[in-house]
Chains A and B, each alone.
Chain A
Amino acid sequence: MRDLSRRMVLSFPFVAALLGRTSAFAQGAAKPADTEWRYYAGTAASNRYAPLEQINAKNFNDLELAWRFKPDMLGPRPEYVYETTPLLIKGKLYTTAGSRRAVVSLDAASGEMIWMHSLDEGERGRNAPRQYSGHGVSYWTDGNEARILYVTPGYQLVALDATTGIPVQDFGVNGVVDLKKDDDQEIDLVTGEVGLHSTPMIIKDVAVVGAAHLSGGAPRTRKNVNGYVRGFDVRTGKRKWIFHTIPRKGEFGYDSWAVPGQAEATGNAGVWAQMSADPELGLVYLPVELPTGDYNGQYRAGNALFGESIVAVDAETGQRKWHYQLVHHGLWDNDIPCASILCDIPVNGKTVKALAQPTKQSFLYVLNRETGEPVWPIRETKVPKGNVPGEWYAPTQPVPSKPPAYDRQGVSIDDLIDFTPALRAEAEKLVKNYTIGGMWTPPTLAVAGGNRGTLHAPSSTGGTNWPGGAYDPDTHIVYVFSQSIVSNYGVIKNSNTDVSDFDYVSGVPGQAVQPTRPMGAPRPAPAARAAAPAAGGGDGEGGGAPTVQGLPLLKPPYGRITAIDLTKGEHAWQIAHGETPDNIKNHPALKGLKIPRTGRPGLLGPLCTKSLVICGEAGFAITPTGARGAMLRAYDKATGEEKGAVYMPAPQTGSPMTYMLGGEQYLVVATGGGSTSAELLAYRLPRS
């Protein structure tokens, strides 16, 4: 044994010299083994964690592009919003790509395309409520056979042979399961308003598939398609179970609908976000969105389960094990936008199998994932009512006692821009036109010449959105990105039933209600069409949130990363993430002021490695070299101190992943935006 180790020590410098390479692994003891990334967020626990340290604080700035993959020609046109995190299995990357959501297998060392699969769904695809390439693909193997599964824009579940990309003939019909069929409801195969851009959750031999719809400020109809969740046999494509996210008569939760008949007459309540799963417990964790009406709940009175609830279901049967409603009768479009982070944490000397749920509302809800019980008390707290006729208001909302919120909640005078007293004064004057208050202040009636609505933070896009967070299983710290921006929630009376069958909808007084309809569906008759919206102009009269001389209404940071220590339920650190936007940095009203980095708003997911938290920036800026683009930044995960930054030609749009291959660590991130089309960038350290 001793001999062997000595031989290794002796022979190693020789090998390094022989190869003539000085790559980082040459400094270590042995060539590190290849690693894998089998799920969208690394594992079924959605930890987005890889214990790799070849890329570290000392060398992050040395990173260079290993390869780039440009999916422009994989669809009928280029794509600009590339949300994928690729999978890495046995040296090959698997991802969706391009505007038609093709699936590709790439050589993970060179980026070379090995195979490509694409399904042209024609009109059905063009009608999809969720277009483009989506979040990526899923992987299944029994150790012998290996499959790649994904959901098309037109809502079909496809299984491909991982080696060849050819549809698996004994799955569904020639490799395809039509998800608009066998869903306990009638759905028009071409125009039915349902799809999915998330990846199926694979647990053992079951593929769990959710549903996504259009956003619902002024829904066409309260009886939209239901977003049920189903489990499919991953070998045959046969449906094993269905979970009704709006309970049917006799099912658990039906009684939470206060007005008889409404549960039957309401749609949505999809699971559009990523899911997590615990194969040991045999549970899948479903983040359920609202029933129809994102800001208007007139037709879903009561707590109306399972709106905005985490539901744990048995992966084999779909039976509900427990649920926890994060928001009662939500009126803020909080959804639950991302996967629960599954974590085993020490609490009072015992290890608790927990889950931590990042949210748009910037609470991290921590629950026991076996029982659904809060790890720290979550107290029902009295909340205010609004003034929309016919609306039902929950008297209380559950408020976590720990950990503290990780971003701004609600809008008060103290939250307003305060770079100078003059800007604050202007902001104070602007918000007089609106209702402001704590985070549970509901949307309000917008009236011509009067109240313009409720200014609300976090906005309808968070806080944290679909990318979710990361978790370090060694230190029990969650890392989450969030943004501080404002939405305006104004409600108006709807008089045009051709546009929506809701009595009250989101809108701007004096402007006709904008129709929500599936893309490609027949356009409403001219009489039903809305008048054009007014140009915004910045004061919010057009319905958007107001700005102050083009500056954000709230004070910075506009984007931040928070480290949350789950051994204590406290923040470990918090930093502004993203360089100050150019239009703020160079704003004439701020001339001569020294403004610390403000961070930038966006929808971002961090990656955690052995020593770093890595996250790209949202939005373009002129980078330190003068090049237009964005930076991929690395922070010391213990302190939040920035350790390095490398240039990307466009902002991060999909969360980064990492892997070790052939002794080299790669970092892969999806980018795009503005006039720069989608691209996958792979970084590694220089070889010499």
Chain B
Amino acid sequence: MKRLFVMSAAFAVFALTAAAQETRSAWSGVYTAAQAERGKVLFTENCARCHGDNLAGIEMAPALSGSSFLSNWNGENVANLVDRIRTTMPADDPGKLSRVSATDLTAFILASNAMPAGEFELARDQPLQAAIRIDALKPN
């Protein structure tokens, strides 16, 4: 009985992991244009003074668009980007941004990297975001 329980628990973990690995690309329209617009306003308020008004970055703050950003986040998932923003930014007041705000900001960053908007908003739930893969290049 006990062994059976252990086995089924292991199976459940496997199944969950497998589900989590079924990912889609951030190039597949994972946010809406309106959401990116909200993110744009948040960006100006909170981020532009360090990351630059063109997201190009300075010595202390990395670029949030272009080749080096895409390389750095290639293969990562959207949840990790949202969490990086939510827990460490803005540098003078981290924790200020809600998960919803950090999600909207992420939508703006994806838009700034030429990833297209779609029909549905980027949901704020961590497991859903974890299933969205950041690809440096648009998959064929």
Q: Do residues A582 and B44 form an inter-chain contact, with CB atoms below 8 A? A: no
Q: Do residues B88 and A77 form an inter-chain contact, with CB atoms below 8 A? A: yes
Q: Do residues B76 and A532 form an inter-chain contact, with CB atoms below 8 A? A: no
Evaluate whether A520 and B93 lie within 8 angstroms (CB atoms) in the complex, with A514-B49, A545-B56 already known. yes
A550 within 8 A of B: yes
The minimal Cβ–Cβ distance linking A603 to chain B, given in whole angstroms, is 7
Interface size on A, residues (CB 8 A): 68
Interface residues of B in 15-41 (CB under 8 A from A): 36, 40-41
Which size bracket describes the interface of B in this complex? 35 or more
Residue-wise interface mask of B (65-98) relative to A, using a CB-CB cutoff of 8 A (1 in contact, 0 not): 1111011111110001101100110111111000
Chain A-chain B contacts (Cβ-Cβ < 8 Å), number: 161
**Which residues of the other chain, B, contact A79 by a CB distance below 8 angstroms?**
88
Q: Do residues A529 and B83 form an inter-chain contact, with CB atoms below 8 A? A: no
**Which residues of the other chain, A, contact B66 by a CB distance below 8 angstroms?**
536, 538, 544, 547
CA A535 to CA B68, docked complex, whole Å: 16
Taking a contact as CB atoms closer than 8 A, the residue among B48, B74, B87, B136 that contacts A533 in the complex is B48
Q: Do residues B58 and A461 form an inter-chain contact, with CB atoms below 8 A? A: yes
Taking a contact as CB atoms closer than 8 A, the residue among B36, B49, B62, B112 that contacts A515 in the complex is B49
B59 within 8 A of A: yes
Q: Do residues A533 and B67 form an inter-chain contact, with CB atoms below 8 A? A: no
CB closest residue in chain B, given A602: B68
CB closest residue in chain B, given A218: B53
CB closest residue in chain B, given A530: B44
The minimal Cβ–Cβ distance linking A516 to chain B, given in whole angstroms, is 6
**Which residues of the other chain, A, contact B55 by a CB distance below 8 angstroms?**
533, 536, 542, 544
CA A78 to CA B86, docked complex, whole Å: 12
CA A552 to CA B68, docked complex, whole Å: 10
Q: Do residues B92 and A533 form an inter-chain contact, with CB atoms below 8 A? A: no
The minimal Cβ–Cβ distance linking B58 to chain A, given in whole angstroms, is 5
Interface residues of B in 45-67 (CB under 8 A from A): 45, 48-50, 52-60, 62, 65-67
Evaluate whether A507 and B53 lie within 8 angstroms (CB atoms) in the complex, with A514-B44, A550-B67, A621-B71 already known. yes
Evaluate whether A673 and B54 lie within 8 angstroms (CB atoms) in the complex, with A533-B44, A581-B67 already known. no
**Which residues of the other chain, B, contact A622 by a CB distance below 8 angstroms?**
74-75
Q: Do residues B59 and A465 form an inter-chain contact, with CB atoms below 8 A? A: yes
**Which residues of the other chain, B, contact A77 by a CB distance below 8 angstroms?**
87-88, 94-95
B137 within 8 A of A: yes
Q: Do residues B60 and A131 form an inter-chain contact, with CB atoms below 8 A? A: yes
**Which residues of the other chain, B, contact A586 by a CB distance below 8 angstroms?**
136-137
The minimal Cβ–Cβ distance linking B136 to chain A, given in whole angstroms, is 3
Q: Do residues A620 and B49 form an inter-chain contact, with CB atoms below 8 A? A: no
The minimal Cβ–Cβ distance linking A559 to chain B, given in whole angstroms, is 10
**Which residues of the other chain, B, contact A545 by a CB distance below 8 angstroms?**
56
Q: Do residues B67 and A587 form an inter-chain contact, with CB atoms below 8 A? A: no
Residue-wise interface mask of A (9-47) relative to B, using a CB-CB cutoff of 8 A (1 in contact, 0 not): 000000000000000000000000000000000000000
B10 within 8 A of A: no
Q: Do residues B94 and A583 form an inter-chain contact, with CB atoms below 8 A? A: no
**Which residues of the other chain, B, contact A256 by a CB distance below 8 angstroms?**
none
CB closest residue in chain A, given B94: A77
A215 within 8 A of B: yes
Evaluate whether A620 and B72 lie within 8 angstroms (CB atoms) in the complex, with A131-B91, A461-B59 already known. yes
Q: Do residues A76 and B94 form an inter-chain contact, with CB atoms below 8 A? A: yes
B111 within 8 A of A: yes
Taking a contact as CB atoms closer than 8 A, the residue among B53, B56, B95 that contacts A530 in the complex is B53
**Which residues of the other chain, B, contact A99 by a CB distance below 8 angstroms?**
88
A81 within 8 A of B: yes
**Which residues of the other chain, B, contact A673 by a CB distance below 8 angstroms?**
62, 72
The minimal Cβ–Cβ distance linking A553 to chain B, given in whole angstroms, is 10
Q: Do residues A215 and B58 form an inter-chain contact, with CB atoms below 8 A? A: yes
Q: Do residues A532 and B54 form an inter-chain contact, with CB atoms below 8 A? A: no
A496 within 8 A of B: no
Residue-wise interface mask of A (438-474) relative to B, using a CB-CB cutoff of 8 A (1 in contact, 0 not): 0000000000000000000000110001100000000
**Which residues of the other chain, B, contact A588 by a CB distance below 8 angstroms?**
137, 140
Q: A488, A542, A675: which has the most chain B beta carbons within 10 Å?
A: A675
CA A77 to CA B75, docked complex, whole Å: 24
A104 within 8 A of B: no
Q: Do residues B44 and A551 form an inter-chain contact, with CB atoms below 8 A? A: no
CA A620 to CA B80, docked complex, whole Å: 15
CA A626 to CA B8, docked complex, whole Å: 31
**Which residues of the other chain, A, contact B136 by a CB distance below 8 angstroms?**
581-583, 586
CB closest residue in chain A, given B64: A536
Q: Do residues A130 and B87 form an inter-chain contact, with CB atoms below 8 A? A: no
Q: Do residues B67 and A551 form an inter-chain contact, with CB atoms below 8 A? A: yes
**Which residues of the other chain, B, contact A552 by a CB distance below 8 angstroms?**
67
User: A-B pairs with the 4 shortest C-beta distances?
Assistant: A583-B136, A519-B92, A675-B80, A543-B54
7 contacts across the A-B interface (CB closer than 8 A): A78-B87, A81-B62, A532-B44, A533-B43, A550-B70, A674-B73, A674-B80
| 7 extra A-B contacts, CB within 8 A, seeds A507-B53, A547-B67, A581-B67 | A508-B53, A533-B54, A542-B54, A587-B137, A619-B68, A673-B62, A675-B73
